[in-house]
């Protein structure tokens, strides 16, 4: 069953802010590095008017299918690429594009990836322990929890999840997998709950939230891909071109902030002018109507 039939579309986060900061022009060429179901791309194309072109990239084939449906009235203006934004330069070269006027990254997972238990991203519903955004490519979360040494699992949970019970959770994972492989999200949730003392589980977010975030980041090599993607994005922007990035956790935001600062420094042959002194966050109404936007931070810069 295709994404557009089965799932609800992803609601784009801060769509007006993205359009305002990207300021797309008729005839301009833009890249949406995280196409999802195409919500941001749609807004950019509607605003840009005649002749604008967008290259939409996603590593998830279901996202590409959903976006094609969402953008069916803009078929001539949109080019769909099933790929990884860490291959940005190769992707644009293969399309004979040299420079572009704006690039968007809306990081993380989409609602339909999260809401589809079969994809294994959710701690709220039971499904196979997978978490690969690019279906079938590379090791899954199941591979990591069943094969990595306890120390490496603990490091992943500590570094990518900032989980204070990382060592204990890793020990519980290893103890459990010695009996039988861990194959479902539900099994992993139960292990995490058993590892975290009851008093620490009483308040705050779902006890498995940090573990799932950490494994997802590790499985999809999200921070490495972000470094590579941003680096290439700056190179292919034309002077005056805009880079807009929405991140959803502090590790991502730190990478974006550090890279913007580094590239805006005059001592360092700076080439970026930062447009958002502080990150832009969603307004209260947006957080109420789309709670998944609550952790979003948007940063933008212009190349000179």
Q: Name the residue nearer to ligand SAM (CB basis): 80 or 123.
A: 80
Q: Name the residue nearer to ligand SAM (CB basis): 53 or 207.
A: 53
* Closest separation in Å from C-beta 269 to ligand SAM: 27
Q: Which residues contact 79 (CB under 8 A, 6 or more apart)?
A: 53, 54, 55, 56, 95
Cross-strand bridge partners of residue 78: 54
Instruction: Concatenate the DSSP letters of all residues of 13-72 into one string.
Output: SSHHHHHHHH---TT-EEEETT-TTSHHHHHHHHHH-TT-EEEEEES-HHHHHHHHHHTG
Q: How many of the chain's residues bind ligand SAM (CB under 6 A)?
A: 22
- Fill in the per-residue mask, 224 to 253: x = in contact with ligand SAM (CB under 6 A), - = not in contact: -x----------------------------
CA distance 242 to 294: 24
Residues 47-76 that bind ligand SAM (CB under 6 A): 57-60, 63
Contact 214, 144 (CB under 8 A): no
* Closest separation in Å from C-beta 32 to ligand SAM: 7
Angle of helix 209-219 versus helix 185-195 axis, rounded to 10: 130
Instruction: Check residue 39 for interaction with ligand SAM (CB under 6 A).
Output: yes
CA distance 140 to 171: 20
User: What residue number has its CB nearest to ligand SAM?
Assistant: 36
* Closest separation in Å from C-beta 304 to ligand SAM: 26
With CB under 6 A as the contact rule, the residue among 7, 10, 249, 299 that binds ligand SAM is 10
Of the candidate spans 81-89, 150-158, 182-190, 273-281, the one that interacts with ligand SAM by CB under 6 A turns out to be 81-89
CA distance 151 to 265: 38
- Count of residues in the chain: 304
Residues 103-162 that bind ligand SAM (CB under 6 A): 106, 108-110, 133
Question: Site residues (CB under 6 A) for ligand SAM?
Answer: 10, 12, 34, 36-40, 57-60, 63, 84-86, 106, 108-110, 133, 225
């Amino acid at each position: 069953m295709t994404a557009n039939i089965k799932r609800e579309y992803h609601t784009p986060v801060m769509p007006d802010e993205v359009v305002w900061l990207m300021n797309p022009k008729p005839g301009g060429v833009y890249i949406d590095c995280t196409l999802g179901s195409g919500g941001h791309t749609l807004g950019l194309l509607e605003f840009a008017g005649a002749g604008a072109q967008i290259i939409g990239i996603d590593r998830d084939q279901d996202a590409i299918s959903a976006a094609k449906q969402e953008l069916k009235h803009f078929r001539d203006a949109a080019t769909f690429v099933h790929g990884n934004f860490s291959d940005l330069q190769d992707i644009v070269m293969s399309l004979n594009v040299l420079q572009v006027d704006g690039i968007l990254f809306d990081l993380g997972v989409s609602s339909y990836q999260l809401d589809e238990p079969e994809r294994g991203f959710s701690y709220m519903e039971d499904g196979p322990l997978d978490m690969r955004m690019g279906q079938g490519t590379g090791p899954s979360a199941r591979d990591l929890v069943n094969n990595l040494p306890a120390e490496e699992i603990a490091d992943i949970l500590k570094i990518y999840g900032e989980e204070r019970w990382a060592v204990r959770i890793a020990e519980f994972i290893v103890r459990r997998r010695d009996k039988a492989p861990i194959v479902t999200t539900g099994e992993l949730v139960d292990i995490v709950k058993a590892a975290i003392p009851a008093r620490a589980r009483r308040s705050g977010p779902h006890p498995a939230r940090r573990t799932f975030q950490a494994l997802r980041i590790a499985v999809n090599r999200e921070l490495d891909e972000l470094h590579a993607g941003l680096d290439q994005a700056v190179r292919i922007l034309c002077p005056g071109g805009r880079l807009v990035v929405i991140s959803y956790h502090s590790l991502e935001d730190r990478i974006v902030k550090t890279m913007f600062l580094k590239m805006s420094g005059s001592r360092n042959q700076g080439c970026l002018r930062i447009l958002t002194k502080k990150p832009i966050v969603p307004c209260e109404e947006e957080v109420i109507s789309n709670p998944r936007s609550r952790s979003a931070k948007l940063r933008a810069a212009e190349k000179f």
